[in-house]
Structure 1
């Protein structure tokens, strides 16, 4: 199957939230949604970078790219969101409620990868805190908007193929006893899928017309790979990452396709997983795939859910799966 952004159905009158919308996959997804008529809320930590990205997207869409399907370009609204700060997440939800009545798609996209150990404003290990707990809290705060919006709405959570090496260390979730940057990243990406699937099971149990889907971008050439080496001050590793991106990575625009497919394709059902279908699932057109056996472990998912509610202080008004 060949599927690209020109394959997206029109999104006019849809409201979409994209976290990390100012760069990489989030930027490309934002441009695609707006080019198909959606009103996109760019949820970003840096307002300056987000506003600059919004201007770039508006300039691109003003030229009328061939892939854009809507008669009118959608709007772009920048709202501050720091996923490493639970207070910032709560403020974002308040501002969203003041400006918007509906939410058709929530793209839990932002994240960090293989960074030195650090803590969020609330004392969580950064990769677990930003990649999983921040999005868990955000989705909980936006829950009523999703289920009160007419028609089907979706939550799309970005994971990674690295989730296959992940293990949820309940005895040391914050990796304070022993920290390996890649193990911590793999744990956070497995947590993303456990959350995505458990959320869909709970939506189904509640009879809600909301679906939750997981996805991964394959190997995409973005700045995500550079943050770890930059924070470590490792010029050698930074050069190695740039070389790997150039040789192995597909473009950020193509890396965003699984998220766009998961968010808009009519044939998607809740609890599914979407990724590139080409070489080693690292590149190519998006398709439905299977994630690791661990990601479908309902007992682990339920336990992680309870722990996430306790840590984030955000409780979902949804029944157990």
Structure 2
């Protein structure tokens, strides 16, 4: 695994990979590199204009790339359901789902269904999308669900008495809650898949501190300025930040329940390596409780 780069991605010809948030940042880099290695890439985007610009950029870099757009607003469970049902009904086999999209530290807003935006987009959307797409994995020789978390999950807690951050809203606290929710979800998904002996691997990744528009499209005021400064002087480029999720999605030997992040100091920068979630993120009782709540509020249940 030492100094693994995108050049080490195995041939992906014949594999279909769905990537959320694929028009920019880590999602765009992942789509580009997977297309470069032969995958059929489905770029799930909210804005068709921005998505088409990104798709054309990939085709310019890789003229024979197999890339297509699919529209889904992750802040709207109905939009997610429409995309997923259409994909499953098409009969296409899915090999990898990359739960990449996210939003970071905006002022308090809510999704169409009324969930706090970060929890709704970063966790509930990908929870619902993954469960709805499970039937499409049938027949895949190496099926994987890769869920993107963050090093900031380590400061996260699930506030079951105030999941919507109605009583108290902290931009960073809500973000960390959504990112530890990603960990609980991926590990509980791994346990369920193993219990049912389903040949799908649920894997986690985080990018360290990568310079993307995640830091500029959500935060406002002083936090926006601080993150722009960090992007300029402290962050690694998105091409490096995407490596852990690319490794999780493609490398031989990856196992369900594993977590990949950068190998540098404090997991901020570097090449992909196995990392560990914070201890409380391994608590199966909290994971099960969050799963049950997520089923109830999304209306999407384990099949």
Matched residue of 2:13: which SS? coil
Matched residue of 1:142: which SS? helix
One of 119, 124, 133 as aligned partner of 2:115? 124
Matched residue of 1:212: which SS? strand
Task: Find the counterpart in structure 1 of residue 216 from structure 2.
Answer: 226
Structure 1 distance, partners of 2:84, 2:155, is: 33
Structure 1 distance, partners of 2:287, 2:20, is: 23
Q: Which stretches in structure 2 are left out of the alignment for 5+ residues?
A: none
Structure 2 distance, partners of 1:162, 1:219, is: 10
Shift in CA distance, 54/283, structure 1 to aligned 2, threshold 3 Å = same
8 Å Cα contact 1:12/1:74 also seen in 2: no
Matched residue of 1:118: which SS? coil
CA RMSD, aligned part only?
Answer: 1.1
Task: Find the counterpart in structure 1 of residue 297 from structure 2.
Answer: 311
Q: How does 1:105-254 map to 2 (within 5 A)?
A: 105-146=96-137, 148-229=138-219, 232=220, 234=221, 236-254=222-240
Task: Find the counterpart in structure 2 of residue 3 from structure 1.
Answer: 4
Q: TM-score, normalised by structure 1?
A: 0.92
Q: How does 1:245-264 map to 2 (within 5 A)?
A: 245-264=231-250
Task: Find the counterpart in structure 2 of residue 83 from structure 1.
Answer: 74
| Count of matched residue pairs | 302
Deviation of the 1:99 alpha carbon = 4.1
Matched, 1:93 2:84: yes
Shift in CA distance, 78/99, structure 1 to aligned 2, threshold 3 Å = farther
Task: Find the counterpart in structure 2 of residue 65 from structure 1.
Answer: none
Deviation of the 1:181 alpha carbon = 0.6
Structure 2 distance, partners of 1:85, 1:95, is: 16
Matched residue of 1:16: which SS? strand
Structure 1 distance, partners of 2:23, 2:69, is: 9
Task: Find the counterpart in structure 1 of residue 267 from structure 2.
Answer: 281
Structure 2 distance, partners of 1:100, 1:264, is: 23
Q: TM-score, normalised by structure 2?
A: 0.97
Structure 2 distance, partners of 1:281, 1:199, is: 24
